[in-house]
Amino acid sequence: MNFDFSDDQKQIKDQARKFLSEKCTTKTVRKLYEGAGTYDAALWKQIAEMGWMGTAIPEEFGGLGLGYLELCVVAEELGRAVAPVPFSSTVYLLAEFLLAAGTDEQKKRLLPKIASGELIGCFARAEGPGAVTPKNIRTAFKGGKLSGTKIAVTDGMDAQYAVVLARGSDDAGERGLQLALIDLTGAGVKRKAVASLDPSRGIAEITFENANAEALGKLGEGWSIASRVMDRAAILIAFEQVGGSDVCLAMAKEYAMTRYAFGRQIASFQAIKHKLADMYINIELARSNAYYGAWALSTGASELPLAAAAARVSATQAFDYASKENTQTHGGIGFTWEADCHFYYKRSKQLGLALGPQRAWKDKLVTELELSNAA
């Protein structure tokens, strides 16, 4: 079985890397850190012109209709560039929710706008600290009206539309949950920016007060639909994390080869060698799991939940370790604002929490492994 990408997919990857190396440098990211906004609108427009938002969106809805493997290679390059754009919230989440549960009318109305870059979206699920579970969802969606508060909504300040995990009936479990699709520019919606570790991917607290919304999918299917979409997003974000990890390793290696201490390259010291080797091992493990996830995603395999959990856990750990050890390898200068190391460290933290805490994904991995072994 060949898990490698095709020549055409590698060409898309090369083109994406060349484009981002020219249009998205760390100077671009630094401007947002210094208060120039919550995302790079100019870069977002250029990415839209490249057609990346519509990579996996069918042609009938204004997309390119290529597929998930092509989206995976684009995701990896966005991760390498720590691109300050709401790509994952819009493409991996909103678009996937519409494809998974939207009506034909909803798809025809919104997917072309996503593909063209006209619309930014987000997914609002958390209402308190810790992992989201069916029992701790209190936001209500009844009679076409949405009421409640969601916290830590990635890209929530910039989004025009949101998918909201809400309670559609008095049932306290999964059967009472439903997804709601809401225009965030409408009445009854209040948004408050929340300070985050990564200013280039802002978060918001969103309060709904009897706001008009429409159902996305059926009552009782909210949790299952959200779980399926989260699995897809986990694999795509894993590619972003692998891309970011690769850059951290390259930065650490380059610095270690050029920095001298006691008359020798620091790369010649055993402690540095072991550090770089551990980074490489973690990244390759994450890459193999991401590739497995890409196969499961593109084929609709039954192993998708297991592959998603494995990719999510290994890629999160790899990026976390690589970003920290890259900073350590750079020594004192690595901790300064002027160095670029902190961009990757902060993005690793943001991506590590974007789909819920690591603990929840580890629990999911154990559960899926038990189910796999039982089968």
Q: What is the average per-residue pLDDT within 326-348?
A: 95
Q: What percent of the chain has pLDDT over 90?
A: 89
Q: What is the average per-residue pLDDT within 132-142?
A: 94
Give me the pLDDT at residue 374, please.
Answer: 84
Cα 137 to its chain centre, rounded Å, is 22
Higher confidence at residue 331 or residue 27?
331
Q: What is the average per-residue pLDDT within 123-127?
A: 97
Give me the pLDDT at residue 2, please.
Answer: 67
Cα 212 to its chain centre, rounded Å, is 27
The pLDDT-based confidence of 26 (bands split at 50, 70, 90) is: confident
Reported as a single tens digit per residue, the pLDDT across 290-322 is 999 999 999 999 999 999 999 999 999 999 999
Q: What tokens does 252 get?
A: 């650490």
Q: What is the average per-residue pLDDT within 234-249?
A: 98
129, pLDDT greater than 90: no
The pLDDT-based confidence of 28 (bands split at 50, 70, 90) is: confident
Q: Where are the beta strands (DSSP E) in 86-136?
A: 121-124
Task: Give dist(CA 292, CA 288) in Å, integer.
Answer: 6
Identify the sign of the CA torsion 84, 87, 93, 94: positive
Residues in a beta bridge with 265: 260
40, pLDDT greater than 90: yes
Give me the pLDDT at residue 172, please.
Answer: 80
Terminal Cα-to-Cα distance of the chain (whole angstroms): 22
Give me the pLDDT at residue 1, please.
Answer: 57
Q: What is the average per-residue pLDDT within 336-352?
A: 96
Give me the pLDDT at residue 298, please.
Answer: 95
Summary mean pLDDT of the chain = 95
179, pLDDT greater than 60: yes
Q: What is the average per-residue pLDDT within 67-87?
A: 97
Give me the amino acid identity at 238.
Answer: A
Higher confidence at residue 254 or residue 172?
254
**Cβ(213)–Cβ(178) under 8 Å?**
no
225: closest CA among 183, 179, 182, 162?
Answer: 179
Structural domains of the chain, with CATH: 7-115 (1.10.540.10), 121-219 (2.40.110.10), 223-374 (1.20.140.10)
- DSSP 3-state helix, strand, coil percentages of the chain (rounded to 5)? 60, 15, 25
pTM of the model: 0.96
Q: What is the average per-residue pLDDT within 102-108?
A: 98
**Cβ(211)–Cβ(147) under 8 Å?**
yes
Higher confidence at residue 1 or residue 90?
90
**Cβ(107)–Cβ(47) under 8 Å?**
no
Identify the sign of the CA torsion 212, 217, 221, 224: negative
Burial 227-242 (b: 16+ CB within 10 A, else e): ebbbbbbbbbbbbbbb
With tokens 């060349």, the residue in question is 18
Measured torsion, CA atoms of residues 276, 280, 281, 284, in degrees rounded to the nearest 10: 170
Reported as a single tens digit per residue, the pLDDT across 192-214 is 999 888 999 989 999 999 999 99
